Structure 1
Amino acid sequence: MKVRLGNYIEEYSKKNKADEDIPVYSVTSTQGFCRDYFGKEVASKDKTTYKIVPQGCFAYNPSRINVGSVDWQRNEERVIVSPLYNVFSVSEELDQEYLYYYLKSDFALQRIRAVATGSVRDNLKLEMLKEFPILLPPKNDQKTIANNLDRVKRIIELRKSEIDKMNELIKARFVEMFGDVMHNDRKWECKQFSDITTSRLGKMLDAKHQTGTCKYPYLANFNVQWFRFELDNLNEMDFNEKDREEFCLEDGDLLVCEGGEIGRCAVWHNQVKKCFFQKALHRVRCNQDIILPDYLAWWFKYNCENGGFAAIEGAKATISHLTGVKMKMLDVTVPAIELQEQFADFIKQVDKSKVAVQKALEKTQLLFDSLMQQYFG
């Protein structure tokens, strides 16, 4: 039977008025309750207005709950959160983990977005949340549902951890073979980026000139992650015959992000036939007699992780955009092609294992999604 959520939750409104030394936490969509999200930003702030969250209580950012920034506090006896947060306690009839999964479900998120839309910054007040309907089986059944979802979620996390460890293995192999490519401690030959590659930015999206007569899928910045592509629900736009010649993607192309996370890149292997790319991306084609795209992708990764592009903007630690001009002027360490080929072969072997784990991850994620739909849809 569906019941009103407000019958089982109540605002918890105690503040840290005594300025006690209580750990400061935030709530994110991916990590839930976590420390140090704002780094040193809150270290010197007056925290007497911060809200106390005892163990077992929920907290959420009213303008971020629409993307899943909500969690229950299971880390410490008490923590404090920003005064912007809403904090509430839960009655004994409602299991916290069951409620957590409900608030993360598509049903709840769609309702949150619908109810919050139009208010200030799509702000979901606690009084709005109290009006939500929730299916409330007996407490033991709630715990069983939460335990089932916990088990599947742990498997998903383990699969993701496996993939992360494989990437760490490739990273370690890169350093073992090529050393510190940023400071070139192995004294490899250096070449200017423009001398060993050809590159160009993608097509600008011009909504006024979209006719829909020759639409094709394209990659945008968010589609390119480190060493992989997010290809679900690709956007489309018009590419005429000239555009298709100019902006086509070919096997072995390296797609490099111009903005956002500067230098993030992945090697294209014709995952989608007749696919193109948008202006926020550089398409890089390597002279493969000199440099291989797999090596160059990890060269970008090493530099991104170690501040290798900081000099482009002087004292700044990061750069806002890696323009075509700046990229063409980069100095690239170029090891012997035979070593690059050995590294590329190593990547291929690891990638075979990654593909198997990725398929298992996708199946497990599908199971999790179907269970969420079954329990809360």
Structure 2
Amino acid sequence: MKIGDMSEKYVSSTEERITDAGFNNSSVKMLESGTLLYSIFASIGAVSILKIPATTNQAIAGLKIKDDSLDRDFLYHYLKSRESISKSSGRGAAQNNINLTILRNMQVTLPSIEIQRSIVRNLEMISNQVTIAESHLMDLDALVKSRFVDMFGDPIINPKNWQTKRLESMGELKNGVNFKSVDNGYEVKCLSVRDFKDKYSIDDMSQIGTVSLNGRPNASQMLKNGDIVFVRSNGNKALVGRCLAVFPKDEKLTFSGFCIRFRIESNDINLDYFLNCMKSDSMRKAMIGRGANIQNLSQAILSKLSIPIPPLSLQQEFVDFARQVNKSRFVAQQQIEKLQMLYDSLAQEYFGD
């Protein structure tokens, strides 16, 4: 089990397996079905429940319930709320770690088992609505991807033999800022991996957290309208290569060192066409780098990607279609965000700070 496998509440499959020989000659333990999983570094705070016996890598702790006065689903939502509360507190663009000692000593206030189960029912009701809205969002994404392939073909295979250009010839790539929790002196909004979610673009800066840096980032590390930002590194392999467009308008906005910024400098390509091209499944596969626990995407990998360049009139035809779908997508995304805010508000009420 890796963090990338923990995308849903219940986990019943893994991307990788360990052999009997590997298991018998290592220190890993087999966790029972029903064990609660909690990530303790990289993508800190991810929570899931095992539905199968499994081992985990070192980024995940397994929690077995020993006390009948504790409902497992209550603990699941309690730990999930820790992630939500920490995200809403401001900082957090850098990847932090906790250790087993901190986890073992975490204090959990336990109401009666009846109250615990009532809390679970309320939070599960919201979570289920989020799942439905996310499913609708995926259907809309699939519609746009299907239209893209119909019009242009797979961008890696390029079956329609469009002219291609390397990404490095069409714009500028730049890594984000690195900083430590002790840095201070210059406050600035900072786009981080957690801001990406399934968004197509971001233009509301009120949702972006602020970080403290030792000094002002240089001009190339400040984002401009129409910049496209990629996830460069994350413990969850599924997030690497994810991208979105940003429109900070007049606000100062930088971006985390776990991201790469691309700024289009070519007149041959439409921003929305390019963004959808980079979001295609085959292009995402071409982007994924190599790594152990944290997967990596580099400027070198991005710069060598060949991008098909159809006529601008055809690009615009696709963009017009995608924008119509994105109106429905925006509504679905707003619904998800409102539901998540409701979940976070209730979780804070139930579990406190």
Calculate the TM-score normalised by the size of structure 2.
0.71
Q: Hey, what's the Cα distance between the residues in 2 that align with 1:66 and 1:275? A: 24
The residue that corresponds to 1:372 in the other structure is 347
The residue that corresponds to 2:338 in the other structure is 363
* Pair 1:332-2:307 in alignment: yes
The residue that corresponds to 1:5 in the other structure is none
Higher relative contact order (CA 8 A, sep 6+): 2
Cα offset, 1:357, TM superposition: 1.7
* Pair 1:267-2:245 in alignment: yes
Cα offset, 1:221, TM superposition: 5.7
Contact 1:262/1:304 (CA < 8 Å) preserved in 2?
Answer: no
Q: Hey, what's the Cα distance between the residues in 2 that align with 1:104 and 1:41? A: 28
The equivalent position to 1:346 in structure 2, one of 288, 304, 321, is: 321
Cα offset, 1:58, TM superposition: 4.3
Q: Structure 2 matches for 1:20-35, cutoff 5 A?
A: 30-35=7-12
Contact 1:152/1:368 (CA < 8 Å) preserved in 2?
Answer: yes
Q: Hey, what's the Cα distance between the residues in 2 that align with 1:343 and 1:108? A: 37
Amino acid aligned to 2:266:
N
- Match of 2:165, SS? strand
| CA shift digits 1:16-46 (9 cap, x unpaired) | xxxxxxxx99997643442332522346655
Count of residues paired in the alignment:
320
Amino acid aligned to 1:219:
L
Q: Hey, what's the Cα distance between the residues in 1 that align with 2:127 and 2:148? A: 32
The residue that corresponds to 2:262 in the other structure is 283
The equivalent position to 1:80 in structure 2, one of 47, 53, 61, is: 53
Amino acid aligned to 1:179:
G
Percent sequence identity is 20
The residue that corresponds to 1:98 in the other structure is 74
The residue that corresponds to 1:233 in the other structure is 209
Can you give the 5+ residue segments of structure 2 that lack an aligned partner in the other structure?
A: 87-96
Q: Hey, what's the Cα distance between the residues in 1 that align with 2:23 and 2:161? A: 52
Q: Hey, what's the Cα distance between the residues in 2 that align with 1:265 and 1:350? A: 18
- Match of 2:65, SS? strand
Contact 2:190/2:209 (CA < 8 Å) preserved in 1?
Answer: no
| CA shift digits 1:318-338 (9 cap, x unpaired) | x94432x65444432111111
The residue that corresponds to 1:217 in the other structure is 189
Contact 1:303/1:309 (CA < 8 Å) preserved in 2?
Answer: no
| CA shift digits 1:27-81 (9 cap, x unpaired) | 9764344233252234665579955636xx544469579725364x6x5xxx434
Q: Hey, what's the Cα distance between the residues in 2 that align with 1:340 and 1:224? A: 25
The residue that corresponds to 1:12 in the other structure is none
Q: Say what the alpha-carbon RMSD is for the aligned residues.
A: 4.4
Can you give the 5+ residue segments of structure 1 that lack an aligned partner in the other structure?
A: 1-23, 111-119, 314-318
Contact 1:98/1:146 (CA < 8 Å) preserved in 2?
Answer: yes
> Per the alignment, do residues 305 and 125 of structure 1 end up closer, same or farther by CA in structure 2, a change over 3 Å counting?
same
* Pair 1:53-2:32 in alignment: yes
The residue that corresponds to 2:174 in the other structure is 201
Contact 2:29/2:55 (CA < 8 Å) preserved in 1?
Answer: yes
Q: Hey, what's the Cα distance between the residues in 1 that align with 2:39 and 2:241? A: 33
Cα offset, 1:185, TM superposition: 0.5
- Match of 2:308, SS? strand
> Per the alignment, do residues 350 and 143 of structure 1 end up closer, same or farther by CA in structure 2, a change over 3 Å counting?
same
Q: Which has the larger radius of gyration?
A: 1
Cα offset, 1:88, TM superposition: 3.1
Contact 2:185/2:212 (CA < 8 Å) preserved in 1?
Answer: no
The equivalent position to 1:40 in structure 2, one of 9, 14, 17, is: 17
> Per the alignment, do residues 58 and 271 of structure 1 end up closer, same or farther by CA in structure 2, a change over 3 Å counting?
farther
Q: Hey, what's the Cα distance between the residues in 2 that align with 1:203 and 1:126? A: 31
The residue that corresponds to 1:249 in the other structure is 223
- Match of 1:332, SS? strand
> Per the alignment, do residues 98 and 190 of structure 1 end up closer, same or farther by CA in structure 2, a change over 3 Å counting?
closer
Q: Hey, what's the Cα distance between the residues in 2 that align with 1:222 and 1:126? A: 22
> Per the alignment, do residues 89 and 272 of structure 1 end up closer, same or farther by CA in structure 2, a change over 3 Å counting?
farther
> Per the alignment, do residues 82 and 206 of structure 1 end up closer, same or farther by CA in structure 2, a change over 3 Å counting?
closer
Tell which deviates more after alignment, 261-270 or 142-151.
Answer: 261-270
- Match of 2:331, SS? helix
* Pair 1:297-2:261 in alignment: no
Cα offset, 1:144, TM superposition: 3.1
The equivalent position to 1:171 in structure 2, one of 124, 132, 145, is: 145
Q: Hey, what's the Cα distance between the residues in 1 that align with 2:70 and 2:178? A: 49
Q: Hey, what's the Cα distance between the residues in 2 that align with 1:345 and 1:28? A: 36
Cα offset, 1:159, TM superposition: 1.5
Amino acid aligned to 2:112:
L
| CA shift digits 1:284-330 (9 cap, x unpaired) | 21423x111211122222365564358x99xxxxx94432x654444
